[in-house]
Amino acid sequence: MAYAHLGVEELGGGVTVVTLDRPEVLNAINTQMCRELRAFFGPLAFAPGELRCIVLTGAGGRAFSTGGDLKERRGMSAEAWRAQHAIIEESAYSLIDCQVPLIAAVNGYAYGGGCELALCCDFILAARTARFALPEVTRGIMPGAGGTQNLPRAVGERRAKQIALSGEPFGAEEAARWGMVNEVVEPEALMPRALELARRIALNAPISVRQIKKAMHHGLQTDLRRGLLIEVEAYGRTIDTEDRAEGVNAFNEKRPPSFKGR
């Protein structure tokens, strides 16, 4: 599929890089970009195919994404705004529902919807120069692409309220201290590190990886006892797989496993 504002590069071994590609406007998110995110990620909730790990980043080096394109939104009627926001919601939810592990490589500004897209990923790596913010409150709106839900799950309710109610920007080191960012690296090391992790994940048994992601995602939405039931159900899905037998055989034969996702 050809995309106008999304770069998709398959690197082999099940690893793909998806790039938010509007560098001339710091990868601001317009309606078409959301349609393309929805088109790419939507099917991955049900049919991941040969994909084993995805890295999401921004083009141009200056920004991951500065959020919603307010020039496109200027003069929008309330009805048009609601219709557009439904597309934004669907694009964000498609990232959350993606079965394939998704790493955000934040290489610059991640403001507003850009910050929210990063939070929709499984975890975040950030360049030391990256900056984050949820400034929607300064524009008379609020985060509406998962920010009020994903952020407190990452940094806690009180810190999330401070970030979202003030709109103040913060740096990568602060984001890491607060638990939002997993690792902070020098800008030139960001993509090599993200791809190193992606390839490491891609070498593991795909069904196992997806079941771990599923168990954590759904288990965190409920109490411990129900979470344990979700875990056991997910574990059971791995027992009847060829990959489970391959993993045990490879260990006993002292060789690297070759997982097929079956």
156 φ/ψ angles, rounded to the nearest 5 degrees: 95, 155
Amino acid at 182: N
For residue 22, count other CB atoms closer than 10 A to its CB.
22
Amino acid at 49: G
Check 116, 168, 173, 231 and give the catalytic one. 116
Those residues with Cβ within 8 angstroms of residue 243's Cβ, 6 or more apart along the chain or in another chain: 205, 206, 207, 208, 257, 259, 260, 261, 262
Residue 135 has which token pair? Answer: 């400034």
116 counts as catalytic: yes
Strand partners, 6: 20
| Distance, CA of 174 to CA of 132 (rounded, Å) | 10
15-20 and 6-12 strand pairing: antiparallel
Angle at 141 between CA 136 and CA 147, to 5 degrees: 55
CA dihedral for 189, 190, 194, 197, sign (positive or negative): positive
Check 24, 136, 196, 233 and give the catalytic one. 136
157 counts as catalytic: no
Residues involved in catalysis: 116, 136
